[in-house]
């Protein structure tokens, strides 16, 4: 409708101009011919008058054509400008970021000229309120305060700023500003992107880099760094190791949620009982270390007694009172040693002596039963290695988006002729103590690589295989060559092999990063197993070449009903994705857990909901089905 009106007005204007030109031209011809005839200057013939009139009409038509073309071009330019303005307004109003228009005069004073709806929603101010307020009232940024001249000079700037909203909250934003000069005035277009969630994620990464996620205590690396600094500067200190006895049994009895609450209370009591400078850190589920700078051994014993007194008091968890069995070891510098290992070793020694003096542990009949079984396994383990009494089961790793098997984890079993099938939780610690873990680990690595190659040949799909690497195996000088040989001999691609290590390996950062980078150079993938149960040193983890985090099953167990568990898993997934890592959730057994992990954008899952660890024959059948699975009957 607007275009037709503009066209009608243009045509009317052209007609008026043409009519005026022709009328005036004809009148001019008639008048001059008449004047010439009256004056006798020239004899006028009718043909000459007709010729003059025709000239006026023809030139009038040419003028009409030129005017029509000129006015058409003007109209097209006008329409394009109108479309551009409409497009700009559409982008301006519906952009995903807040947009503000300012102007800067020759005195470097800013005037508000307009904003889109999203910016008004971000600040809580209306357009009229923003027009009255000074930009410095709600935008806290160097570019809009002391550095305007630099912004004008550079022409554009990207920086972080804060918006103080009308309701008092503060938003973190990324501001992209660009200037346009119009005479003495400079217009500024500023795009405000809300990065509040990203900033919170960065702050969470920074916190978890140096703190334990559960208790908020400093990370073990903080303690070790300070301990070595004190040794380097020859400053005295005391070190306490606090061991909670039978905590695993306690956790199974009262549940993981209550045991986490108990762990937080234990940490608080330890810290509150020390009224001086200290670094207290949680080493594992059942152990704390306390570094006391400037404290000699005698003072350390006094603080030892204070902690002991506090931990002896019962803990109220729900309606239950819980009393702890615990031991405390102590050592000091420089009395008990001159290096980190000596100090820690003596603290462990004194701790073990305290535990040996505990009469309750000596009376524990179950411990005696376990001891006999352990002795039998110790005697039989060399035979098992020689006779190859081990076998591998495989648990599928499921891609959550498609429910397809994308990989497997190799899990070893000891098929003992008398004790039956023995789980790795029982015999792996014994193998580590006796020095058999390295040959067993090498056998598992080669066997798993060969088996995944066999799976590939029957299914046509290059699945991955995850193999656990023990800390003892990891520190072997030939670990890279062993992995390389297993990949070469089996014929798989390096990226099909996923090496699972524990968080404890990352505590020795300098040595572990060299080995991990060498392994990555081979093309294999690295995964952190049971993430969240160990050191959780994200400060060092983010610098390691890690491809995958596996969330421990203890965090998945109550994820549907416990908000804390859900929030914790969400944080781990978010942080892992932030560092370009994939996430695998272990121990998935129910539909609710699966739905929750799907909502939290978890990448892969393992668990009995889909399949328990199964033998290669049954797994081969699953892999050849060529379709997604929901669970294994």
pLDDT tens profile 213-271: 888 899 888 899 999 999 999 999 999 999 998 888 888 888 888 888 999 999 999 99
pLDDT of res. 449? 97
Is the pLDDT assigned to residue 468 strictly greater than 70?
Answer: yes
112 three-class SS: strand
Q: What is the pLDDT of residue 172?
A: 87
Secondary structure class of 541 (helix, strand, coil): helix
- Give dist(CA 518, CA 560) in Å, integer: 40
Residue 156 confidence class, pLDDT cut points 50, 70, 90: confident
Residue 372 clears pLDDT 50, i.e. is over it: yes
* pLDDT of 542 over the 60 cut: yes
pLDDT per residue over 202-227, tens digit each? 777 777 778 888 888 998 888 999 99
Which of 241, 223, 238 has its CA nearest to residue 355?
241
Q: Is the pLDDT of residue 576 over 80?
A: yes
Residue 307: pLDDT band (50, 70, 90) is very high
Per-residue confidence at 352, pLDDT binned at 50, 70, 90?
confident
CA distances from 476 to 98, 114, 463 (A): 56, 66, 28
Rounded to an integer, what distance in angstroms lies between the CA atom of residue 145 and that of residue 135? Answer: 9
Mean pLDDT, all residues of the chain: 82
The token pair at 256 is 């993981």
pLDDT of residue 532: 67
How high is the pLDDT of residue 174?
87
Q: What percent of the chain has pLDDT over 90?
A: 29
pLDDT in tens, 49-74: 676 667 667 776 777 677 777 777 77
Task: Say yes or no to pLDDT of 2 above 70.
Answer: no
Tell me how far apart the alpha carbons of residues 590 and 391 are, in angstroms, rounded to a whole number. Answer: 28
What angle separates helix 256-272 from helix 247-254, to the nearest 10 degrees?
130
pLDDT band at 534 (very low <50, low <70, confident <90, very high): low
Q: Which residues of 23-37 are buried (b: 16+ CB within 10 A; e: fewer)?
A: eebbeebeeebeeee
Which has more pLDDT, 133 or 167?
A: 167
Q: What is the mean pLDDT of residues 333-355?
A: 82
Dihedral sign for Cα atoms in the order 204, 207, 209, 213: negative
The token duo for 554 is 């203890």
Number of H helices, E strands in the chain: 24, 21
Residue in 495, 475, 476, 469 with CA at minimum distance from that of residue 582? 495
pLDDT of residue 366: 39
Length of the chain: 633
Q: Which of 31-35, 61-65, 541-545 has the highest mean pLDDT?
A: 541-545
Provide the β-strand partners of residue 550: 584
Q: Inform me whether the pLDDT recorded for 13 exceeds 80.
A: no
DSSP string, 136-156: HHHEE-GGGTTTHHHHHHHSE
* Residue 319, phi then psi, degrees to nearest 5: -105, 5
pLDDT at 364 over 80: no
Least confident of 26-40, 236-250, 492-506: 26-40
Window from 189-203, 380-394, 432-446 with minimum mean pLDDT: 189-203
Determine which of 89-98, 407-416, 420-429 has the lowest per-residue pLDDT on average: 89-98
d(CA 418, CA 34): 140
pLDDT of residue 226: 93
Question: Does 369 have pLDDT greater than 50?
Answer: no
**pLDDT value of residue 311:** 92
Cβ neighbours for 47, distance < 8 A, ≥ 6 positions apart: none
Find which of 136-145, 240-249, 621-630 is predicted with most confidence, using mean pLDDT.
240-249
Percent of the chain past pLDDT 70, that is, above it, reads 81
Q: Looking at per-residue confidence, does 574 or 371 come out higher?
A: 574
Q: How confident is the model at residue 550 (pLDDT cuts 50, 70, 90)?
A: very high
Of 333 and 151, the structure prediction assigns the larger pLDDT to 333
Average pLDDT over residues 299-322: 87
Alpha carbon 396 to its chain centroid, in Å, reads 25
Residue with the larger pLDDT of the pair 281 and 251: 281
Of 8-17, 314-323, 324-333, 473-482, least confident by mean pLDDT is 8-17
pLDDT tier at 92, thresholds 50, 70, 90: low
pLDDT of residue 47: 62
3-class state of residue 533 by DSSP? coil
pLDDT, mean of residues 173-186: 82
Whole-number pLDDT of residue 571: 87
Tokens 């079993």 correspond to: 413
Tokens for 61? 């038509």
Q: Give the per-residue pLDDT at 206.
A: 75
User: Cα angle vertex 86, ends 84, 89, to 5°?
Assistant: 110
Say how far apart CA 193 and CA 173 lie, in whole Å: 5
The average pLDDT across 433-460 equals 93
Q: How confident is the model at residue 8 (pLDDT cuts 50, 70, 90)?
A: low
- What are φ and ψ of residue 461, in 5° steps? -115, 130
Residue-level pLDDT at 19: 72
Lowest-confidence segment of 64-73, 112-121, 258-267, 472-481 by average pLDDT: 64-73
Three-class DSSP category at 585: strand
Rounded to whole angstroms, how far apart are CA atoms 193 and 177?
11
């Amino acid at each position: 409708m607007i275009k037709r009106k503009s066209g009608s007005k243009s045509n009317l204007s052209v007609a008026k101009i043409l009519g005026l030109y022709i009328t005036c031209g004809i009148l001019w011809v008639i008048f001059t011919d008449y004047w010439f005839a009256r004056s006798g200057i020239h004899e006028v013939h009718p043909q000459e008058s007709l010729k003059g009139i025709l000239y006026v009409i023809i030139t009038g038509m040419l003028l009409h054509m030129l005017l029509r073309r000129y006015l058409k071009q003007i109209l097209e330019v006008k329409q394009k400008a109108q479309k551009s303005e409409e497009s700009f307004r559409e982008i301006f109003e519906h952009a995903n970021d807040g947009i503000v228009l300012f102007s800067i005069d020759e005195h470097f004073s800013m005037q508000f000229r307009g904003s889109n709806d999203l910016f008004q929603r971000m600040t809580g101010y209306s357009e009229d309120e923003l027009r009255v307020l000074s930009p410095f009232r709600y935008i806290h940024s160097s570019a809009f305060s002391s550095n305007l001249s630099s912004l004008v000079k550079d022409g554009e700037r990207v920086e972080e700023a804060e918006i103080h909203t009308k309701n008092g909250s503060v938003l973190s934003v990324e501001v992209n500003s660009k200037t346009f000069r119009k005479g003495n005035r400079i217009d500024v277009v500023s795009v405000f992107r809300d990065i509040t969630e990203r900033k919170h994620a960065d702050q969470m990464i920074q916190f978890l880099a140096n703190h334990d996620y559960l208790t908020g205590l400093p990370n073990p690396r903080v303690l070790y760094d300070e301990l070595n600094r004190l040794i380097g500067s020859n400053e005295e200190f005391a070190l306490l190791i606090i061991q909670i006895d039978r905590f695993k049994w306690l956790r199974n009895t009262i549940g993981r949620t209550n045991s986490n609450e108990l762990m937080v209370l234990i940490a608080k009591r330890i810290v509150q009982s020390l009224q001086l400078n200290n670094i207290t850190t949680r080493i594992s589920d059942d152990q704390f270390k306390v570094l006391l700078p400037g404290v000699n051994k005698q003072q350390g014993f006094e603080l030892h007694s204070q902690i002991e007194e506090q931990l002896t008091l019962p803990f109220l968890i729900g309606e239950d009172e819980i009393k702890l069995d615990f031991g405390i070891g102590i050592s000091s510098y420089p009395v008990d040693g001159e290096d980190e290992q000596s100090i820690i070793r003596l603290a462990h020694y004194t701790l073990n002596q305290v535990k040996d003096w505990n009469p309750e542990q000596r009376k524990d009949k179950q411990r005696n039963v376990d001891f006999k079984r352990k002795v039998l396994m110790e005697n039989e383990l060399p035979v098992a290695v020689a006779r190859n009494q081990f076998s591998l089961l495989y648990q599928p790793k499921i891609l959550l988006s498609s429910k397809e098997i994308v990989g497997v984890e190799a899990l070893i079993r000891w098929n003992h002729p008398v004790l039956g099938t023995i789980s790795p939780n029982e015999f792996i610690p014994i193998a580590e103590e006796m020095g058999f873990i390295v040959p067993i680990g090498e056998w598992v690595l080669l066997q798993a690589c060969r088996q995944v190659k066999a799976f590939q040949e029957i299914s046509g799909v290059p699945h991955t295989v995850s193999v656990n690497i023990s800390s003892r195996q990891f520190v072997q000088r030939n670990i890279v060559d062993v992995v390389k040989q297993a990949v070469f001999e089996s014929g798989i691609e390096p990226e099909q092999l996923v090496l699972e290590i524990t968080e404890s390996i990352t505590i020795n950062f300098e040595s572990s990063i060299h080995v991990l980078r060498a392994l990555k150079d081979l093309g294999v993938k690295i995964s952190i197993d049971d993430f969240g149960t160990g050191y959780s040193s994200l400060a060092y983890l983010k610098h390691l070449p890690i491809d995958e985090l596996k969330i421990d099953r203890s965090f998945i167990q109550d994820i549907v009903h416990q908000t804390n568990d859900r929030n914790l898993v969400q944080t781990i997934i978010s942080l892992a994705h932030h560092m370009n890592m994939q996430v695998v959730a272990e121990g998935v057994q129910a539909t609710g857990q699966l739905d929750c992990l799907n909502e939290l954008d978890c990448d892969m899952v393992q668990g009995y909901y889909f399949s328990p660890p199964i033998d290669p024959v049954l797994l081969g059948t699953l892999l050849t089905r060529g379709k997604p699975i929901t669970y294994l009957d």
